[in-house]
Amino acid sequence: MLVRRGLVDDAAITAYLHPESQDLPDPFSLADMDRAAARIRAAIEAGERVCVYGDYDTDGVCATAILTDALTRLGADVTYLLPTRFGEGYGLNGSAVDAMRRDGVRLIVTVDNGISAHAEIAYANENGVDTVVTDHHRCHETLPDACAVVCASRADQDPALGSLCGASVAMLLAAALGCPIGPYLPIAALATMADVVPLHAVNRTIVKKGLPLVSMQPGLSALLDAAGIRELSGEATLSFVLAPRINAAGRMGDATRAVRLLLSGDEAERRALAAELESENVRRRAEEQRIMKEAESQIDEPEPRILVLRGTDWNTGVTGIVAARLLERYRCPVLLFSEVNGYLIGSGRSVPAVDLFALLSRHKACFVRFGGHRLAAGATLEPDRFEAMRAALCEDVFRAFPAGLPEETRTYEDRLELPEITVQFAKELTYLSPFGEENRAPLFLIEGSLSAVRTMGKDGNHLGAKLSDASAAVRIVSFGAGDRYADWNAMPDGRAFVTVELGSYLGKPEVSVRAEALVRPVGDAFDKAVSACIRAERDRAPLPKPAVLSALPKITETEVRDAYRALLPRLSRGTLRTCLSETEQTALLILLEIGVVRYANGLFFAETVREKKQIQNAPLYPLLCLE
């Protein structure tokens, strides 16, 4: 597994397996760090009022807390300010500059933003307010005219620093100013996981060093108590417990509540703030479900290449989450917009094939502002430009992918026999952690008979089952797969792509096996033949060559009809192709050709048929017919 990750020499293997033993980078290896530190020290010595200007997501909140605490320790006259999702939106703005100037601020230090704020920083300069930018988002063609621009993505510095999140850049600035970084490591680790930056090199070190300190950070400890968490589950606790609750502050209201939680020295205040964020997270989940339903009602394409949608009262704090959910379902870039104070504010998520930041950059004239990464971005525009913007983005993606977006592929690490899935094996895999972006938990293929399929969770959103062979059995769970119950239950045998994790029950270690996908065993040649037939039907192209079609089984008209009748309850809501037998898939290929079913994003659906269809009219049927 290490060799497959390009790790073949002792030094690289040691650094990967023991990231906690690695040193963090020299803060001054970041371009302009010396200028940033000098300007801030000068402000402290002169008694100038300094404002840390952050962002409302977890990374921005953590970065704000880190630098505010560091400047307070250094004796600065410091305050902080965060924009709101529902007012100013992301980034520095003129109103905020005016507010800070009225408050006596003479130096603004941005964290997790600022790299795109050329006009706003120029405005601050005109009004006698200096700015130091610290950020990690992608740089535009020119840098803003600030006293210093410390940005992880700058091209004129070590590329290994390019994946740092905003909070880690703020932590290195604190170190450059002479502050010990120990208290900030758990906060930076949380931001690193929450911002989904690549988990290699420096970021692995930050997360590995910070994880053991999470429960010692008073604000994070209070948040864990409010969530009812008594035992940390590694980096998953950061991503799936703490980050959503920190994010909920800004998604549902004022993000400064989360900053106050991380900075508070009063236990009663921390408990009250943690309880408030827990409540906000519950409210956020309900809002997410509502927006998801309304967004899906606007989708009229079975296989979209990009979704650009808008709502009238969608909470812009939640649209990013919903965009991610829609991306998972439709496997295409998604941008969701909602109107706030006369502007449309949007959040986007993308698939690896489409660089979302580059896509927006090609149409930057449509936007008031935009920024982000390859896979996630945000944008603001005037409402009357929405349709033109949507048409431009759609045309761009259609031109780039005339035959449709590339199908998702899944790469697994190795095949495991069921007896190999042991507690000891799960313990060994923890040496590869922390897991996250660009260092995913290893995926394994296991096979066996499928039984005891059941829904799990309060709303039946998850599935559990038993996979067994002659020598062993394992229990698997798949989160968010509740709507696939009928598919699983119809499979006598399954091929599961799983992660193997170390868990515990009543204080004892146990193996946790989580399925990312479950498919019915089929031959590779058959699978290639089905994919070729689907592409031919989609592109209105001739059928594949006979050598390819020979992998499909022969079939009778009665078998086609019987398969359709048996599958109809599942087809009404969509059934995964990979959950069907070879005969069932072949029958649906024939029905696809005559318009009785349709295929989109890996799913077969029943079509509304108003006139009688003849199976004999399917081009594929005469080639496979047994009669």
* pLDDT tens digits, 447-485: 999 999 999 988 888 999 999 999 999 999 999 888 889
Is the previous residue joined to 434 through a cis bond, with omega within 30 degrees of 0?
yes
Task: Tell me the pLDDT tens digit for each residue of 367-383.
Answer: 998 888 888 898 999 99
Query: What's the confidence (pLDDT) of residue 150?
Result: 97
Residue 510: both structure tokens together? 């146990």
Q: What's the chain's average pLDDT? A: 92
Query: What's the confidence (pLDDT) of residue 627?
Result: 63
State the pLDDT confidence band at 246, using cuts at 50, 70 and 90: very high
State the pLDDT confidence band at 106, using cuts at 50, 70 and 90: very high
Half-sphere exposure of 178 (CA within 13 A, CB side): 9
State the pLDDT confidence band at 141, using cuts at 50, 70 and 90: confident
In the predicted structure, residue 79 carries a pLDDT above the cut 90: yes
Task: Tell me the pLDDT tens digit for each residue of 12-26.
Answer: 999 999 999 999 999
- Please state the rounded mean pLDDT for residues 260-286: 96
120-129, 134-143, 212-221: lowest mean pLDDT where? 134-143
Task: Tell me the pLDDT tens digit for each residue of 176-228.
Answer: 999 999 999 999 999 999 998 999 899 999 999 999 999 999 999 999 999 99
Query: What's the confidence (pLDDT) of residue 103?
Result: 96
Task: Tell me the pLDDT tens digit for each residue of 294-340.
Answer: 999 999 877 789 999 999 889 888 999 999 999 988 889 999 999 88
Q: Is 290 helix (H, G, I), strand (E, B) or coil?
A: helix
State the pLDDT confidence band at 86, using cuts at 50, 70 and 90: confident
In the predicted structure, residue 90 carries a pLDDT above the cut 80: no
In the predicted structure, residue 107 carries a pLDDT above the cut 90: yes
79-88, 242-251, 346-355, 490-499: lowest mean pLDDT where? 79-88
Query: What's the confidence (pLDDT) of residue 178?
Result: 96
Sheet holding 597-600, edge to edge: 575-576, 603-606, 597-600
Q: Where are the alpha helices (DSSP H) in 177-217?
A: 185-194, 202-210
Q: Where are the alpha helices (DSSP H) in 227-266?
A: 235-237, 243-252, 256-263
Half-sphere exposure of 301 (CA within 13 A, CB side): 14
Task: Tell me the pLDDT tens digit for each residue of 23-47.
Answer: 999 999 999 999 999 999 999 999 9
Query: What's the confidence (pLDDT) of residue 112?
Result: 96
Neighbours of 183 (CB within 10 A): 17
> Is the CB of residue 54 less than 8 Å from the CB of residue 60?
yes
- Please state the rounded mean pLDDT for residues 503-511: 83
Query: What's the confidence (pLDDT) of residue 75?
Result: 97
At 279, give phi and psi (nearest 5°).
-65, -40
Task: Tell me the pLDDT tens digit for each residue of 156-177.
Answer: 999 889 899 999 999 999 999 9
> Is the CB of residue 176 less than 8 Å from the CB of residue 26?
no
- Please state the rounded mean pLDDT for residues 90-109: 94
Task: Tell me the pLDDT tens digit for each residue of 412-445.
Answer: 999 999 999 999 999 999 999 999 988 999 999 9
pTM of the model: 0.81
Query: What's the confidence (pLDDT) of residue 290?
Result: 95
- Please state the rounded mean pLDDT for residues 256-261: 97
- H/E stretch holding 308 reads strand 307-311
Burial class of residue 282 (count of CB atoms within 10 Å of its CB; 0-12, 13-18, 19+): exposed
Contacts of 174 (CB under 8 A, 6+ apart): 66, 67, 70, 181, 184
Q: What is the DSSP letter of 491?
A: -
* Domains, the chain, with CATH or none: 25-281 (3.90.1640.30), 298-400 (3.10.310.30), 414-519 (2.40.50.460), 524-624 (no CATH)
More confident: 126 or 608: 126
Burial class of residue 470 (count of CB atoms within 10 Å of its CB; 0-12, 13-18, 19+): exposed
Contacts of 373 (CB under 8 A, 6+ apart): 137, 138, 356, 357
Whole-angstrom distance, CA of residue 295 vs CA of residue 290: 9
Measure Cα distances from 121 to 67, 112, 131 in Å: 20, 15, 7
